[in-house]
Amino acid sequence: MSAGPAAPGATGPRRIGVFGGTFDPVHVGHLVAAVNARHSLGLERVLLVVSNVPWQKVGERAVSDASGRLAVVEAAVRGVEGLEVSSVEIDRGGESYTADTLATLGQQYPGARLFLIVGGDVAAGLGTWERLDEIRSQCELVVVNRPGAAATADQPGWPTHRVEIPALNISSTDLRARATDGRPLDFLVPEAAVREIRRRGLYA
C-alpha cells in the first residue's frame, strides 16, 4: 500500500509520524528518512523518539548516555520544519518498548493517526518485537527503503505504506569510529549536531 501527500488544508485526524531509534549518533540518513516520510504521507510532524535503553541492544554493545543522544538529536532538528524530538522513552525510564511509547503518544495526541516509521531492515525483523499485536493495533506502518532494495512482505492486517528515499550508505557504527579517531563528521551529521558531539566529548 502506498500513499501520496495529503492535500493542503485536508481535514481529519492529526497525522503524526513516530520514528524511534537509538540515534547513536543521529545522522543525515535519519533526517532524510523523516522528511521524506512526512512529505509522502502528508504528516503534520514526525517525532524522533530517542530510546532510553534499547532492549534489543542490551548486552550487544555499550550505548551512549541517553541525555547526550537526546541533546544531539535536538541540535540536529532545530529549525527543521515538521521534525521534533520526543523524550517520552527517556522520561519513562528503563528499557524502551514501542508498545509503551505508542500508548503514551496516543494519550498525548488523542484521536491522532500514528504512523510508525521504520527502515526496511527493521521491518524484516518485526516478528522479534515485544508485544507486536499491541503495536499493530495502535499505528499504521511506514517502511522507508532505498531504491532497488528488496521489499519486505506486508504484515497481515496492518496498514503499510512504503516510502522510497535516496540511497545514503551512512552507518552510526562508522560515525562513532570516525568521532573516536578524530576524523571529520562534516556533511554526514548536521553541523549543529557535530558541534554538540564535540562540546560533550561524545565518542572521544
pTM of the model: 0.90
Q: What is the secondary structure of 66-116 as a DSSP string?
A: HHHHHHHHHHHHTT-TTEEEE-HHHHH-SEE-HHHHHHHHHHHSTTPEEEE
Q: Does some domain include residue 121?
A: yes
Q: Does some domain include residue 45?
A: no
Structural domain that includes position 108? 21-40+51-168
State the amino acid at position 129 in one-letter form.
W
Q: Does some domain include residue 115?
A: yes
DSSP state letter for 57: G
- Alpha-carbon span 104 to 89, nearest angstrom: 9
Query: pLDDT by residue for the chain (204 residues), tens digit each?
Result: 444 444 333 457 899 999 999 999 999 999 999 999 999 999 999 999 999 988 666 666 788 999 999 999 999 999 999 999 999 999 999 999 999 999 999 999 999 999 999 998 888 889 889 999 999 999 999 999 988 777 777 777 899 999 999 988 899 999 999 999 999 999 999 999 999 999 999 998
Lookup result for grid cell 547513536 = 24
CATH assignment at residue 69: 3.40.50.620
How many domains does the chain contain in total?
Answer: 1
Q: Does some domain include residue 181?
A: no
